[in-house]
Structure 1
Amino acid sequence: MKKQILSLAVVSTLSLGSLLSPLTLDQVTAASISEMQKQKNELKNERSGINAEINEKKSKIGELQNEQKRLNDQIKQLDFAVSDAEQKIEAKNKEIAQTTEEIEILKVEIAELIERIEKRNEMLKDKARSFQENGGTVNYIDVLLGANSFSDFVDRVSAVTTIVNADKDILAQHKQDKQDLETKQQQVEAKLNSLQDMKKDLEALKVRLNSQIKEKNELMSTLKHEEEQMHAEAMEMEEEAQLLKEQEAAMAQVIELERKRQAERARQAELERQRKAAAAAAAAKNNSGSGSSTPEPVSAEPPASSGMLQMPANGRITSGIGQRWGTFHAGIDIANRAANVPIVAAADGVVIRSYYSSSYGNAIFIAHSINGQTYTTVYAHMSNRKVSSGQVVSRGQRIGTMGNTGQSYGQHLHFELHKGSWNASKSNAINPMPHF
């Protein structure tokens, strides 16, 4: 049930054969009504099947909508996660910037430490040279014994003590400064490396999250496309089910009219039988009394047309049934450039549908019953319609005017004949030309 097939089918005009065409009592039998009832039941069963498919489509649409809701919730959670990761990345960038500033400050401190260490190194080198120049030893006893007085001795003891302690302090500070330098460098480098690693992890997380969002958005797009397609198919099925319902209703009218016609014919036959019996009795009486002659029987009127169908419009046949431009053309085209060209019903029947379609423009479907066989006729591209759905029409009755509505290229009538009821695949379409 593709969209193109249905749009063509829906705008086509159905008809089920001439409802009220003149038939003999032998032709119109209970069997023909039974056959029409069978076709009506088939239409009903087909419509039930389509309605079941519609319900299945709607159920699938509900599942797709639930899946989209679930995906949408997941996408929202992923969006929140991405936003959180971005905030954390921003925070880490601030920490990295702050740590970079700390590193710059530490670089200054390290430069000062290096300068102090270098100065101490120079001082220690000077002392080492002095130590070498003095023979490699410093005899603090000689320094003390060389005092000129006790006061000088005390001063020398204090000086020696200060020198010794100063040397120890220099060495200890030198060692501590080196340790501090190494510790600060290690701390700063470790902190920076940690921050950079954390930032890389967050950026990798953001990439993964965005990748998941992309995948889910693509899946969401696919689900939405499937839902739209399901909606379109369901709408097409609903349109087809509605058309089948209208065909079913038209068929019911056909059956009822057929029953009434049979009853009327039976009544007329009985009246004719009674008239003939009365005439025969009167003739017998007259013959016995006066010997008058029997009147000649009146001959029946000849049929108005020998064809099963009447040509629905005057004009030139521009296209027949069959393959055309790579597709199946299910009817014939009758063209006429004159103004106000009448379109008439090809046979007596019941209008199944009278409406406008984007493809077939103004279109009418008519149901007929001819010699116990149901038919469907299609009239399309009319400029106007003069009958409505459910209306009973007669053979040759004007139902519209030739036009150029819908997907049409020039004024013409598109006419189809289907043996039986119409279906979307147009499998019942037959050539109407031999039946005119």
Structure 2
Amino acid sequence: MTNPPGLLISAPSSGTGKTTVMLGLLRALAEDGLTVQPFKSGPDYIDPAFHRAAAGRASFNLDSWAMGAPLLGAIAAQAKGADIVVAEGSMGLFDGVAKPGELGHGSSAETALRMGWPVVLVLDVGGQAQSAAATALGFRMYNPDLPFAGVILNRCASPRHERLTRLGMERAGLPVLGVLPRRGDLTLPERHLGLIQAVEHPDLESAIAGYAAFLREHVELEAIKRAASSGPMGPSSAALPRPPAQRIALARDAAFSFTYPHLLEGWRAAGAEILPFSPLADEAPAPDADLVWLPGGYPELHAGTLAAAERFLTGLRRHAETRPVHGECGGYMALGEGLIDKDGTRHRMAGLLGLVTSYEKRRFNLGYRRAELLADMPGFSAGTALRGHEFHYSSIVEQSDVPLARVFDAEGAEGPQTGSRRGHVTGTFFHLIAEASA
């Protein structure tokens, strides 16, 4: 049995327009009556929500550094019932870490190889013509085993520019699947972690419809459909992550939204109840929940609102007296004593941990993490190894609690951001992706 045929949209680097191509292609294919399954290669927290808005179907991350073969197969199996798969790469096609994880180095090329998806390479051809073919050919030949569908030429300045660039591609023997003229309005708004969240876009539906119309005019959709291919079907959803509790109160709003879709799918598939609530709307977690989970997000943009959310804070503190609370990154910060915003103003947080974090002097924290738990956390016992990803600009000012884990980067270097625990409360700066053996 095989997965539906698929493609992976990638590029030589970030900033080439692949997300615009991805969203337009998802919507255009859906408009043609196809059931389209989106995926995201790598640990990005934000793009899957955009994919879902474009395709009308949940998107999932596939990560060859953090996920073992059983979990990768279980996530790939979420494409069951789809007519075509379209996956979006991260960074450049071959970009990954120096040391492999469970399966590999975490590159988009590894995802494409594992799943049997031919690569569509989006090239920004601004400032060059025939020379763009040398770049494309280098990507085509870097790993000859990688299936390659062709190229989409982005930001083409004129008919003459297109003609010259196509000449180079013809000489290199590379199929041109589309040529997108330069348009300044085809960009998505960004902030310091990348794109703004889908829920924050002022008119996302209109934007996606515009991308689809643009691609329909300038891309050979039928050729793209014909290029799609796939590998063998993975195992059943039984390999998805198990829930850390039966009734899980999950913070869910513009301040707390970075939860990997495969985690939630695994929790629901195992029968757990997800009970969403909004701290920004001053909602308390469900009083009969077994666990409160605060995901990452942008609490620093809403620190004043969170500090004044008395029903939320009171309900959270009451829950923590007898039952577990866990926070990731932004959720971890909200569990602390205080959060200092970029202007230097300190905002009172929940006070369930002794953590104080600051954005006054931005410090870049980015990369995969391997954690060895020193104590239990929801869903995992002490001694378990976890894999996750960290991406934030905050720094620790105070941390008075005992460490939750020993935390290492992708190259094995141990770091100081250990997470912390106090009573029933735990928190980490990394976003959980999987148990290391999954």
TM-score strictly above 0.5:
no
TM tier relative to shorter chain: under 0.3
Please say which structure displays the higher CA radius of gyration.
1
TM-score (norm. length: structure 1):
0.18
More strand by share: 2
Which structure would you say has the larger RCO, counting Cα contacts within 8 Å and 6 or more residues apart?
1
